[in-house]
Chains A and B, each alone.
Chain A
Amino acid sequence: MSGKLPAHPLDHPPVGWLKRYIYSTDHKVVALQFLFVSLAFFALGGLLAMLIRWQLAFPGDVNHPVPILGKVMGWADGLMPPDFYNMVFSMHATIMVFFVIIPLLVNVFGNYLIPLKIGARDMAFPFMNGLSFWMGLPAGAIMLAGFFLPGNAAAAGWTSYPPLSAIWQNNPAEWPIVPLVMNFIAGFLCFGYVCSHCIQLGNRFLNVGVSILLSAVAAAGWVMMVQTIAFDGQSAWFLSLLVLGFASLLGAINYITTVAMFRCPGMTMFRLPLSVWSLFITAILVLLATPVLSAAMVMNLMDHHRLTGFFSDGGVPLLHQHLFWFYSHPAVYIMILPAMGMVSDILAVFSRKPVFGYRPMVYAMGAIAFLGFVVWGHHMFQSGMNPALGTTFAISSMLIAVPSGVKVFNWLATMWGGNIRLTIPMCNAVAFVSMFVIGGLSGIFMASTPVDIYITDTYFIVAHIHYVLFGGSMFGVFAAIYFWYPKMFGKMMSDKLGYVHFVLTFITFNCTFFAMHILGIGGFPRRYADYTNFQLWAHFKPMNQFISYSAFALALAQIPFIINFIGSWFWGRAAPANPWQANTLEWTEAASPPPAGNFIRIPVVHRGPYEYSSPLVAEDWLPQTRVLADSIGTNG
Chain B
Amino acid sequence: MDRLFDWIFWITVVVMVLVQGAIVVLMIRYRHRAGRKARYIHGNARVEIIWTIVPAVILGVLTYSSKQVWTAIRYAPELRPRAVKSAKILVIGQQFKWNIIYPGPDGEFGEYLVYPKPSDLRWPDGKRHGGVIGPRDLPADQVEFEINRYISVENPLGKVYDDPKGKDDDYEGAMARVMEVPVNRPVDVYLTSKDVIHSFTLPNFRVKLDTVPGLMGVFTFTPTVTNKQLGPPGYFEIACQELCGQGHYTMQGRMVVISQEEYAAKYETHGGGANP
List chain A positions with a Cβ less than 8 A from chain B: 81-83, 86, 155-157, 161, 163-164, 167, 312, 314, 316-318, 351-354, 356-360, 382-384, 387, 390-391, 394-395, 398-399, 401-402, 405-406, 408-410, 412-413, 415-422, 430, 433-434, 437-438, 441-442, 444-445, 447-451, 453-454, 456-458, 523, 525-531, 533-536, 612-615, 620, 635-636
Contacts and interface: CB of A to CB of B under 8 A. Distances in A.
B39 A418 contact: yes
B4 A384 contact: no
B148 interface: no
A55 to B, nearest CB: 11
Contacts of B248: 82, 86, 527-529
A450 B69 contact: yes
- Nearest first, the 8 closest Cβ-Cβ pairs linking A and B are A417-B39, A387-B74, A357-B43, A523-B203, A457-B241, A450-B69, A441-B12, A528-B249
B214 interface: yes
B38 A417 contact: yes
Contacts of B9: 445
B198 to A, nearest CB: 10
A161 B243 contact: yes
B26 A420 contact: yes
B55 A405 contact: yes
B25 to A, nearest CB: 9
Contacts of B70: 387, 390-391, 394, 449-450
Given A405-B55, A434-B23, A454-B208, A422 B244 contact: no
For chain B, what secondary structure do more than half of its interface residues adopt (helix, strand, loop), or is it mixed?
mixed
A356 B66 CA distance: 34
Contact of B241 (A351, A415, A525): A525
A469 B60 CA distance: 26
B5 A454 contact: yes
A353 B233 CA distance: 62
Contacts of A615: 40
Contact of B38 (A81, A358, A419): A419
Contacts of A353: 38-41
B82 interface: no
B22 A412 contact: yes
A69 to B, nearest CB: 18
A82 B248 CA distance: 9
Interface centre among A405, A421, A442 (most CB of B within 10 A): A405
Nearest to A456: B208
A442 B5 CA distance: 11
B224 interface: no
Interface in B18-43: 19-20, 22-23, 26-27, 30-33, 36-43
Given A161-B243, A351-B30, A421-B32, A405 B40 contact: no
B62 A448 contact: yes
B158 to A, nearest CB: 13
Given A318-B215, A437-B15, A528-B249, 17 more contacts: A164-B197, A167-B245, A317-B214, A351-B30, A353-B38, A360-B48, A394-B70, A416-B26, A417-B30, A417-B38, A444-B11, A450-B4, A453-B73, A454-B1, A529-B248, A533-B250, A635-B42
Contacts of A156: 243
A234 to B, nearest CB: 12
Given A157-B243, A402-B56, A535-B237, A356 B74 contact: no
Given A157-B243, A390-B70, A613 B30 contact: no
A613 B48 contact: no
A525 B249 CA distance: 9
B59 A398 contact: yes
B243 to A, nearest CB: 5
A391 B241 contact: no
A527 B66 CA distance: 27
A97 to B, nearest CB: 16
Interface centre among B16, B60, B63, B252 (most CB of A within 10 A): B63
Interface string B51-77: 110011001101100110111011100
Interface in B181-217: 191, 195-197, 199, 201, 203-204, 206-215, 217
21 contacts: A163-B195, A352-B38, A354-B40, A357-B44, A382-B210, A384-B217, A391-B70, A394-B66, A399-B56, A415-B30, A417-B30, A418-B26, A420-B26, A420-B31, A420-B32, A422-B27, A445-B8, A445-B12, A447-B63, A533-B249, A536-B204
A351 B29 CA distance: 12
